[in-house]
Amino acid sequence: MTERSIAEVLFANEAFYAAFAAGSFEDMAAIWSDSDTVCCLHPGQPPIHGRDAILESWRDILRDPPPIRCVEPVLLPLGEEGAAVICWEVIDGGQLIATNLFRREQGMWQIVHHQAGPLSVQVSLSLPEEDAPHAVN
C-alpha cells in the first residue's frame, strides 16, 4: 500500500469521526459506501447489514451526537483496495475500541464496516494536545 493510500485512509477515518462528532448526516452518508455489502456494529447491538438500514441507525445517533474523538489510529493494509483502521473512541471520558474498514471505490476510500465495542478495563491513552489539562488561573 502506498504512502498516499495510507494517508487517504487515515484521512477518511478522521472524516468519519468528524461527521460523527458534528452530527452531520450528510457527511456520514457521503463517507459510507454506496454498495450494499456494508455492515455496522454499534456497541452491544446486533449487526446492521445494508446501506439504507445503516444510515437510518446513524440518523438517530446523529440527532444528538456524543462528543466523540478518535485516538491512536493504527492502519492495517488489506491489499491495494482495502484497509482497516483500529482506534480508540473517547466519548464523555469513556472508552470504546473500534475497527473501521475502508474499500477504494471509484478512487475514493469509503467505509464499509464499523464495529465499536466496550472495554472492561480503562486504558491510559495519549490524548492530542488540545485535550491535555490546562492550568486554571
Instruction: Name which position in 22, 34, 47, 59 contacts a copy of itself (CB under 8 A).
Output: 47
Among 22, 49, 59, 128, binds a copy of itself (CB under 8 A): 49
Q: What is the secondary structure of 63-107 as a DSSP string?
A: HS---EEEEEEEEEEETTTEEEEEEEEEETTEEEEEEEEEEEETT
Q: Would you give the DSSP letter of residue 128?
A: -
Among 30, 53, 57, 81, binds a copy of itself (CB under 8 A): 81
Q: Which is nearer to a copy of itself, 46 or 133 (CB)?
A: 46
Mapping DSSP to helix (H, G, I), strand (E, B) and coil, where does residue 11 land? helix
94 part of the interface to a copy of itself, by CB under 8 A: no
Any idea which residue has 440518523 for its cell? 59
Contacts of 108 (CB under 8 A, 6+ apart): none
* CB of residue 67 to a copy of itself, shortest distance in Å: 22
Residue 41 near a copy of itself by CB under 8 A: yes
Using CB under 8 A as the binding rule, whether residue 5 contacts a copy of itself is answered as: no
Residue 43 binding a copy of itself, by CB under 8 A: yes
The least CB distance from residue 100 to a copy of itself, in Å, is 10
- Please report whether residue 112 would count as binding a copy of itself according to CB under 8 A: yes
Q: Which of 76, 84, 87, 70 is nearest to 113 (CA)?
A: 84
